[in-house]
Structure 1
Amino acid sequence: MPYAESGDGVRIAYQTGGGGSSVLVLLAGQACNHHWWDAVRDDFHAAHRTVTFDYRGTGESGKPDEPYSIEGFAQDVIAVLDDLGADRAHVYGTSMGGRVAQVLAARHPERVRALVLGCTSPGGPHAVERGNDVRKALAGPGAAARRALGELMYTPAWFAARPGPFPTLGDPAMPAHARRRHLVASNRHDAWDALPGVCAPTLVVHGSDDLLNPVANAHLLAGRIPGARLHLIPGARHAYFEEFRTTASPLVLDFLAEHEAVT
């Protein structure tokens, strides 16, 4: 497995696949490694060379016990692209990965061709927070909290019909200190002031029934980023990209195809 070295010396494990002519960076959710994308990654391989990585604190990457930030995760993406020799890439970020993608596009516009923001939020005081009932369910005892998270990610019937494991529910080998630091990093994200400066063509995708990250945040992002396009997937929850892949993957592929000529 190849590694890039971040600016502060942390080893970042990354993975590539596919044989397409353009690079597509896929960014996973909070406290998850690259396996977040396992169920759908092949959908993009005919058109794109996909790149994933293990966030610091997850997978095969370094796990320093020091503050993490969304800005730092974005810098880790730059380190991976540099290691690959990729000047520009399409970027598809979901959940916390969408937060990373926002910062990447705003701070490093020269590296982002087209941007897809899935099931994510601008963060900060303008964001719409999940309800107290959702917070209470996620704070319950282990098995109950995991079931609650599963049913926030997927429709209950879909989730119950599959044995798992579900990589979208977190990296089981992640140390406790890294899990806490991921949570703090995500909670401190606030891209509101930076979003009007995003110049990459942008698609915002969200499940209409997402309670983990309320759908109102998709409207905020689409209204804040110049020229952004919004698409809601009816009936989908947080992991829309997996359960509703037959809708979501073609939607993203079509959008990226429109912007293959972006220079």
Structure 2
Amino acid sequence: MTVIALKTAVLRDGLTLPYAEAGYPEGTPVVFVHGLADSWWSFEPLLRQLPASLHGFAPTQRGHGDADRPPDGYTPEDFAADLVAFLDTVGIRRTLLAGSSSGGVTARIVAGSHPDRISGLVLIGVPATLADKPAVTAVGETVQGLSDPVPREFVEGFLDGMVSRPVARGFIETMVEEGLKLPAYVWQETVRGLLETDLRATLAGILVPTLLLWGDQDAFLPRADQQIILDAVHGARLLTYEGAGHVVHWEEPERVVADIAAFAARLAAKS
């Protein structure tokens, strides 16, 4: 197991983002991008198991976890701008990006707009679009009615169904506590940003090598959703995790790390 170091990045606009760093300095940089209501903790199971070939970074996005909570700036484009600023601040010239769930939207926007900074893209349970998912629209309506303090029952319900197999209860409790750190307006503005953005359009212009990781028991994303990404991104590959749910890196962290390491090795061999 590798040691996780907790650090802080102060971006050029003064925004402060905590981040976790693990792995080996000589390894291929991998920046992990979490989704709605998560934080760097979402990737703790992966960071603990990084091989010597990888050097991992997991920033917590604005409004989430212990990051700064500005009053606005919660569209996918805003999060993408923060991610580029994070790369600049930490001194990462070029990296592999691995985004989970809605964090994959942020990651692919950066991959499409800054291909010179991105060596490859890994999308872990990432939607192609939300426009065709009534359940997500229903969540959006519920979120707009939230007020502070956000009820624990809401956060627990939001996380319910993310996995299809048992995950350590202590880890799930940690993720609930991280979700409770979001003020109501961060939930509302982040969800509004996702629903009002044409997510299919964010698939255009991605030229970097792309790998999709998807659990076939994902309660939110059908196989057809992943096919949209495969059709839109030239050369993209899909690895299906049989029996896994939406957040495959919580259920099978060892396999996810191995698949990312193998992907990074293939990219290195071609460079």
**Does TM-score exceed 0.5, indicating one fold?**
yes
Q: Distance in 1 between matches of 2:102 and 2:40?
A: 13
Mapping 1:155-234, distance limit 5 Å:
155=164, 158-159=166-167, 162-169=169-176, 170-234=178-242
Displacement of 1:113 in angstroms is 0.2
**Structure 2 letter corresponding to 1:99:** V
Query: Which of 100-109 and 38-47 deviates more?
Result: 38-47
Write the deviation string for residues 38-76 of structure 1: whole angstroms up to 9, x where unpaired.
Answer: 122122242211111111002232101114111111111
CA contact (8 A) 1:130 1:211 kept: no
Mapping 1:103-118, distance limit 5 Å:
103-118=109-124
Indicate which of 76, 79, 90 corresponds to 2:85.
79
CA contact (8 A) 1:124 1:189 kept: no
Mapping 1:80-95, distance limit 5 Å:
80-95=86-101
Write the deviation string for residues 173-231 of structure 1: whole angstroms up to 9, x where unpaired.
Answer: 22222222222222233242342411110001111011123332211111110100011
Q: Distance in 2 between matches of 1:180 and 1:142?
A: 14
Mapping 1:1-263, distance limit 5 Å:
1-6=7-12, 8-19=13-24, 20-123=26-129, 125=131, 128-129=132-133, 131=135, 145-146=154-155, 148-155=157-164, 158-159=166-167, 162-169=169-176, 170-261=178-269
Q: Distance in 2 between matches of 1:186 and 1:132?
A: 10
TM-score (norm 2): 0.83
Query: Which of 193-202 and 8-17 deviates more?
Result: 8-17
CA contact (8 A) 1:130 1:212 kept: no
CA contact (8 A) 1:202 1:228 kept: yes
Q: What stretches of structure 1 of length at least 5 have no aligned partner?
A: none
**Structure 2 letter corresponding to 1:73:** F
Structure-1 residue corresponding to 2:147: none
Q: Distance in 2 between matches of 1:109 and 1:201?
A: 10
In structure 2, the CA distance between the partners of 1:84 and 1:261, relative to structure 1 (3 Å rule), is: farther
**Structure 1 letter corresponding to 2:207:** C
CA contact (8 A) 2:97 2:121 kept: yes
Displacement of 1:132 in angstroms is 7.9
**Structure 2 letter corresponding to 1:71:** E
Equivalent residue of 2:185, what SS?
A: helix
Displacement of 1:260 in angstroms is 1.8
Write the deviation string for residues 49-106 of structure 1: whole angstroms up to 9, x where unpaired.
Answer: 1111111002232101114111111111111111122110000001011111110111
TM-score (norm 1): 0.85
Equivalent residue of 1:197, what SS?
A: coil
Displacement of 1:244 in angstroms is 2.1
- Matched pairs, number: 257
Q: Distance in 1 between matches of 2:270 and 2:65?
A: 33
Equivalent residue of 1:79, what SS?
A: helix
